[in-house]
Structure 1
Amino acid sequence: MGAALTLLGGVLAAAPPAVSAPVAAGASAETLAPTPPMGFNNWNAFGCDVSEALIRETADVLVSSGLAELGYEYVNIDDCWSMRERGPDGRLVPDPVKFPNGIAGLADYVHGKGLKLGIYGDAGTRTCAGYPGSLGKEDIDAQTWADWGVDYLKYDNCHNQSDGSQADFVRRYTAMREALDRTGRPIVYAICEWGQSRPWEWAHDVGDLWRTTGDISDNWPSLRSIIAQNAPLHPYAGPGNWNDPDMLEIGNGGMTATEYRTHLSMWAMMAAPLLIGTDLRTASPDTLAILGNREVVAIDQDRLGVQAAVLEDRDGLMVLDKPLADGDRAIALYNSTDALATVDVEASATGLPAAGAYQLRDVWTGQVRQAGTTISAAVPAHGTVVYRVRALDDPGSTAPLVTAGAALGTLVPGAEGGTLTTTATNRGAGPIHHVEVSVRAPQGWSVVTTSPADQSELAPDASLSTTWTVTAPEGTAAGAHPITVTADYMWGPHHTPGSTTSELVTTVVTAPPDGRRHLGTLEPVRAAGARGPVEVDLSVGGAAEGDGSLITIGGRVHTRGLGTAAPSEIVYYLGGRCSSLTTDVGLDDAATAAVPAAFTVLADDEVVASAENVLAGQAPRTLVADLTGATWLRLVATGSGPAPDGTVVNDSADWAAPVLTCGDVSPDDPVLPVERTLVSFESGTEDWTIANPGDGGTMARSSAFHTDGEYGLQVDTPLSGNWFGRVLPEPLDLSGFSALRFDVRGGATSGTTGEIAVQVGPDLSWCQGGRWAWTGAGASRTVSAAFAEIECPAGVQLDLTQIRALWVFLNGGDRVHIDNVRAAEE
């Protein structure tokens, strides 16, 4: 459905907390980052695959592409750049294979290009990938980096040995601040503690910028979650002190062009650092065009250094207002929903001066329009419209702002058509004439108007609403399909022709295919919870995507399921093809509610299974729902809150191991997607060994954590880590599978890195994934490596019929538990 958001005469959002004015970090009076830092960091695109050649070639492209001219000046090296151990003098040692000329030689090259070099460190005993950390070594490391000519430090938070208090975070990060100051070299200091200790409250006199969230991922839920967390922190930013919502994913392929434009738009509005995280050497023209948008970058780099205030944040729509040094305002209209939405804000609710009209320049299209009282846009799903706005004395010579909004529900191929509603609205200072709305749908679709689609005149702020019947033909594929809505009109004394177009993306649903499958592998039509997103195969942790642990109910751990915060609702289209749903339900063991919850399964609004009075700590309850003939399936969790002390509680309500059965199947058919357990530790350690015995580590079977059977593997990890696994007596044939997985629970006081490797062929060639998944202390998750991402030495192919050994990497110097090493289909 479409949506509208209007601010009438004032700001509806809660007032931000009062804070002291930010001050420049460090002992020097110089502001090292008067505007948000811009540049490149290798981690998002390359992980540990960093090298001197990559950094040199990226520096070359920054200059040749013109990005350096825009301000992208820092070329930053992330984790995995050093040797695993320090040198005899206690100093960090660059990996001589990756960096044959050392960091100092690389810095000389980068500086010669007119750019600056960044490095990575960690406020713990080890980095996230297990390399030497700087805890207790701050002075020698700071001086080493200064001696090399480093200009920027990203300082991470893994293996931090922390008691979790804010005081400890302040102590650890201040220690490096003071060490950097003692070197006398100006080094921008980026605090990367993931927002755990609310650094925006204390880091303004410690760092130049500070991470406010966990790591970003190249997908829409991650981007949406990070925007929601960082946008409200606008009172804490200012010249030399920046909220950092993490690096850019633009160009890495996991999002649409619309979503990537939102990425840069919202980072610019939030005065965020702009650190490119894609391979610039192979970047497409479209990627370079987004990153190189001068008007958007100018908003980010505006010398006032003000992060945009959130004027409104409701129902997935957000309005932001950012003052600019020349007196203009940047106004962003952001739509995080899955449908086209009209977003409005009255000019009087912003920081704009009172005026009869306003000039609006769209910083993505370059289009200039005039508006009277209301700034508005029909914003596509996941999109953001950013206007640069100023008062306008004479609007008569500027085309008016006209919006074309639309709303259409879910369509079923071949079924009775859905109702499309279009709304053309004149936001200009004068009337428009001869307004006519048209709709273009995909070829073969039927679009029939059921009310007038034209009008002779629209006064300022008046609208023309039209209804249509839209039918998708039989055989239309499930998924998103575009529908274009156009409003044509005449404006001004000479009846100049004008036009505005919006794209509505409608969802076509089809029934699930035959088979028994984990429900979380199907895309819901709608999913919403009280706190954070509905999680797949995890419980809900907080507001961010993927911040929970494996679903655990009454001590039983599940690797499949849907985690929600009640009240919640998840809706699926079945089309009358499915027969049953079986699921366990309960409040997650992480829940704190002392009040009961209820779980209800509805088939076409009829209750077909339910569990009442479910309390935290109870064993899961099993529900079996008859779905025969049902068109729609709804899963509803309710009842959490208020607690006895009067607070409202939205606790973790889990649907564990939900299996949907559709079509003509046998009860003996496997649940899809198929997984094959390779190691379950039910009979002991199953001949697992340690790849590098001299690096330490021990193993023993344990019942303390298990996701398959009754036992798992307890691993006492060395601080710097080791590989645990075994060489197989016979080659393993994993053809037909696409990934390897294992389940892990971090130690009580320290998290662990998780990684997967295999050995293949008669020579036992070592092939390894490039992503080091982090699991925090006490948390649990599934670590996965797709075979497509596992890299082998030059000349070696990953032959899935000749897997000769399985290995997992763990570290942290703590007791970690793992279980259920398996091959999986995707």
Structure 2
Amino acid sequence: MKSSYTYFTRLLILLLLATTARTAFAQNGKFINLKTGKFITGDQPEWKSPNFDDTQWKAAQIGEVWQTQGFPDYHGYAWYRIKVVIPSSLKKEAYWRDSLRIHLAHVNDADETFLNGKLIGKTGAFPTDKGGYQSKWPAVRNYHVAANSDIIKWDKENVIVVRVYDGGGSGGIFMGQPFIDMLEKFDGIRFNQQAIKFLTGKKGVRKLQLQNSFNTTITGVFKYSIIDDVTGKAIENKQFQVKLAPLSDKLFSVVFPHREGIKLQYSFTEKVSGKKAAFAEIAPYILTPQEKLTPVINGPALVGVHPGSPVIIRIPVSGARPLTYKVSNLPDGLTLDKTTGIITGQLTKAGDYKLQIQVSNQYGNNKGTFTIKAGDRIALTPPMGWNSWNCWGLNVSEEKVKSSANAMIDKRLTDYGWSYINVDDGWQAPARATDGEILPNEKFPDMKALGDELHNEGLRFGIYSSPGAKTCGGYLGSLGHEVQDMATYFKWGVDYLKYDLCSYTDNTAGDTTLFAQQKPYQLMGNELKKYPRDIIYSICQYGIGDVWKWGRQMNGNLWRTTEDITDTWESLYSIGFSQVNNAKYAGPGGWNDPDMLILGMVGWGENLHQTGLTPYEQYTHISLWSLLSAPLLIGCDMSKLDDFTLNLLKNREVIAIDQDELGKQAERVFDNGKFQVWVKPLADGGTGVGIFNLNSKFATYTFNPADLKIKNISSMRDVWNQQAISYNGKSIMFNIPPHGVRLIKLK
């Protein structure tokens, strides 16, 4: 056992993924899918024994979260037992014959994996471990055992046992199909994508690093092809003879047409075995027009405040700097910084204040109206900002938060209304002060100073907690300290509170009443209302008990309607397109929340990688969330925002649909399994329409506005391109990419 485990450790080090690496965990030659097994909640050490009698355990699908298999509200320890015959032909027909690979996809959040009773790998840490719980769910579990190890029972039944600890959110083995195969030499090849550069002449260039992550020389042929994704025909094919020394790499440049519908295919064929590593990507393409040099006032065009609360408004204006701002009708109590466009102060009286804004630079000027509604409601439009979880996970720090805030300003996202900087889980100290006050850990030396710094830039400061004793990440929650914690958040200048269910389920075991779900959120919501500060209240409890029906009564401003989202089409589809029965509960002051955006570089704390969504799917993501009037919270590494992702986040007309003052959520009006059409009424009398292609190939949809009972259409507009569509009053045909969208506005 000792030699096998040492071998595993050495090999795992070699297999660590480089940042942005695209790794296809495809099966090699013969393989065995691990589709079903036995499952139980709880934690008993004897369950790892290969001889344990598991006949009373529940049958489970391997590769699906346990929440969909009869355990919707369970978090904590659980075990899987998977029995499989491993044929010796698997080894005999392999070329390298070096090690057996057990691929478990993702495991939420920490695991120990045993083969026939022997530990073969561990990822993350359990609550009982020294140093406490540490989530590692983003890490793909690829465990390896030397092929000559006596752990493996060739041609006999083997028992794979996985001990799991889920700290919150989805639980179990999921996001991929687990399998067993033999590791091959070409598995050491990594395709590392560098950011796309868009050139003049409608061309783009992808820099691709071919990397050898094994400590052995790999020789073979690298090929790339540029494919027209509409016709399937090759535009260009090239190949190169490559010899990669141990742990070395080689850089290639792929120049392609910059337009929708270009696929890039890459492959590396290892010389001796003839086996191939390959993957394909849809080339990113930009639809959002280039920003104008003249000032343009963007949305949102209104904000709600409570009288007596501090006002912080950064007027969203794009255009060449420097800009000069002028505001007429500015009410008493508010002041304007004419060089930054930041309005601060306090309003003592309720009312609607319509501000006339004029912005100028060396290229021209622009005028617009901005309304401040001082009253009993905030979040009159869905909040827009950034949250730390999807990129930094529990590794969040003050340095990373400040870097993200700076990027939001430097990359001009603030010009389009992005304003919240939210610190998610992982900021809390391991123990409270002697008087019970919550404290930040060493990564956040001064929370109030951080909030002040954000406010000085016209940004807003968000924080995270749980109504339970522990957060999803195992940090201190607010149970029993709600009054004290709210006072602390007020002292720090917090503008947004995400309150995540997590361990509170320990207090509701067996209690399925609606009151049990509402109680902790009502308690914190009541505390929040006591303070003279506009604090957005985000209820995060995954849609349990139809939270959209009562979240507003808890003083909530947004409420999660589903489990956590991940950067796959399957997750995007199941979450985004399931928002069909809750539209009437969304509106100014309270919004359905289908979770954060999964664009850009994500990774949940480590191994940051480019989102798994294709460019087509990313356009669908933003379009659907905007139609749904969803909160828009960026979840990526802001310091690595590329031109394509910025094009998704800085389209003023797309954002205007999300931030529309009427606050109506789109409803699905057509679904035939291949296409869906969603329709959203807009404040100016127009209608936002999303036509979504659910097919895996380009497909044509014939759109007839009369089917929507919309008459007397004066204009039809392509929202992403910000261009008019020629319309003769009859039907119009759209050729839509796979999993893609056509977002249009009718008037």
Which TM-score tier does this pair reach, normalised by the shorter chain?
A: 0.3 to 0.5
What's the TM-score once normalised by structure 2's chain length?
Answer: 0.47
Q: Which has the higher helix share?
A: 2
**TM score, norm. by length of structure 1:** 0.43
Structure with bigger gyration radius: 1
* Higher RCO, Cα 8 Å, sep 6+: 2
